[in-house]
Amino acid sequence: MSEYTGYIIAGVAILLAILIVFKHIHVVKQSYAYVIERLGAYRTVWGVGIHALVPFLDRIAKRVSLKEQVLDYPPQPVITKDNVTMQIDTVVYFSITDPKLYTYGVEQPMVAMETLTATTLRNIIGDLELDQTLTSRDVINTKMRAILDEATDPWGIKVTRVELKNILPPSDIQNSMEKQMKAERDRRQAILQAEGQKHSAILVAEGEKESAILKATAEKEAAILRAEAEKQAAILKAEGEAQAIMAVQKATADSLKLLNEAHPNDQVIKLKAIEAMQIVADGKATKLIIPSEMQGLAGLASGLKEVVKE
């Protein structure tokens, strides 16, 4: 019986040893780090991989996440330089860069971060007036990030970004701001309408100008065409008259030629002279003076209206 008891005890001892060994074997995942202490003193930091503790001597003091983390703080009351109290809530992005400093640098690091963020925000806003606070978010964010990053460096914390999530002024100031914004929008709308009307008037004037230019051009071209037509008509008329004169002269020349070929006597020549005088008178003259040697033949000129003897 005692022999079986010894086997049982040995088996239990071996089983306990195996359990102890497996209990002290740990796998560190990606983006995590374990701070290890031996007999209460810092020993090392485990990175990614499999590790084993020395039983009864080593222990895991802290499991630290190396991922970027976000702290969203509730609205904090702050007072501006011109004594306006407003509520501002802040968002802080940070990551742990040194697990040892994070573990031993400060008690309750997250509480310390919140307190430091609130005091830093109050200090920065206290140097700004209300209008500056509302329009200088980027400046405030940059200042806060620089101050927090420097202050948390001994804690193994790296502040990567700070954002003012909401800025809530008092209700009366909000109402005043809304009225001011409405007035500004109305002003911009009036300016846009005036610019639209101005642009429309300019376009109308340009259209009227173009229309007047086109009308004047058309009238000019029409006048040129009329002048060209009158010119061509005058030329044609003059050419017609010239042709008529040439025809008359040619007929006269032919008549004289024929008369010369017929060897006329003096009486015929005088008669032709009287006919020529009648043509000159054109039936409109009231008096016609003829030479005395042609008086005897005056009766032959039936187309004359009155003959005055000289």
Residues 78-98: pLDDT tens digits?
988 888 888 998 999 999 999
**What pLDDT is recorded for position 52?**
87
Give which of 20, 21, 25, 61 is closest to 40, Cα–Cα. 61
Q: What is the DSSP letter of 106?
A: S
Residue range 204-222: average pLDDT?
88
Q: What is the CATH number of the domain that holds 123?
A: 3.30.479.30
Give the pLDDT confidence of 218-239 residue by residue, as tens digits.
Answer: 888 888 988 888 888 888 888 8
* Claim to verify: residue 146 and residue 179 sit in the same structural domain: no
Give which of 23, 25, 59 is closest to 39, Cα–Cα. 59
For tokens 């609130």, name the residue: 118
Task: Indicate the number of domains in the chain.
Answer: 4
Q: How far apart are CA 26 and CA 173, in angstroms?
A: 58
Q: pTM for this structure?
A: 0.54
Percent of the chain that is helix, strand, coil (3-state, to 5): 60, 20, 20
In 10 A of CB 275, how many CB atoms?
13
> Contact at 8 Å (CB) between 65 and 31?
yes
Q: How far apart are CA 127 and CA 142, in angstroms?
A: 15
What six digits make up the tokens of 131? 């209008």
> Following CA atoms 110, 116, 121, 124 in sequence, which dihedral angle do they give, to the nearest 10 degrees?
-150
Residue 59: domain span = 2-65
Q: Which residues of 54-79 are buried (b: 16+ CB within 10 A; e: fewer)?
A: eeeebeebeebebeeeeeebeebebe
Residue range 236-265: average pLDDT?
75
> Contact at 8 Å (CB) between 24 and 54?
yes
* Claim to verify: residue 181 and residue 197 sit in the same structural domain: yes
* Claim to verify: residue 126 and residue 205 sit in the same structural domain: no
* Claim to verify: residue 207 and residue 280 sit in the same structural domain: no
Which of 65, 83, 108 is a domain's end point?
Answer: 65
* Claim to verify: residue 54 and residue 85 sit in the same structural domain: no
Q: How far apart are CA 52 and CA 139, in angstroms?
A: 49
Does 274 score more than 70 pLDDT? no
Per-residue pLDDT band for 303 (boundaries 50, 70, 90) equals: very low
In sequence order, the 6+-apart residues with CB closer than 8 A to the CB of 31 are: 65, 66, 67
Give the pLDDT confidence of 57-74 residue by residue, as tens digits.
Answer: 889 999 999 999 999 888
* Claim to verify: residue 252 and residue 268 sit in the same structural domain: no
Helix count (H) and strand count (E) of the chain?
7, 9
* Claim to verify: residue 99 and residue 146 sit in the same structural domain: yes
Does 145 score more than 80 pLDDT? yes
What whole-number percentage of the chain has pLDDT above 90?
A: 24
* Claim to verify: residue 73 and residue 158 sit in the same structural domain: yes
In 10 A of CB 159, how many CB atoms?
23
* Claim to verify: residue 154 and residue 184 sit in the same structural domain: no
Give the pLDDT confidence of 14-47 residue by residue, as tens digits.
Answer: 777 777 777 888 888 998 999 999 988 999 999 8
> Contact at 8 Å (CB) between 51 and 28?
yes
Which of 227, 244, 262 is a domain's end point?
Answer: 262
* Claim to verify: residue 47 and residue 31 sit in the same structural domain: yes
> Contact at 8 Å (CB) between 149 and 120?
no
* Claim to verify: residue 80 and residue 103 sit in the same structural domain: yes
* Claim to verify: residue 35 and residue 127 sit in the same structural domain: no
Does 288 score more than 70 pLDDT? no
What whole-number percentage of the chain has pLDDT above 70?
A: 80
Residue range 281-292: average pLDDT?
55
> Contact at 8 Å (CB) between 82 and 59?
no
Mean pLDDT for the chain? Answer: 81
What six digits make up the tokens of 239? 């050419």
For tokens 């008259």, name the residue: 241
What six digits make up the tokens of 292? 């005395």
Give which of 144, 34, 133 is closest to 93, Cα–Cα. 144
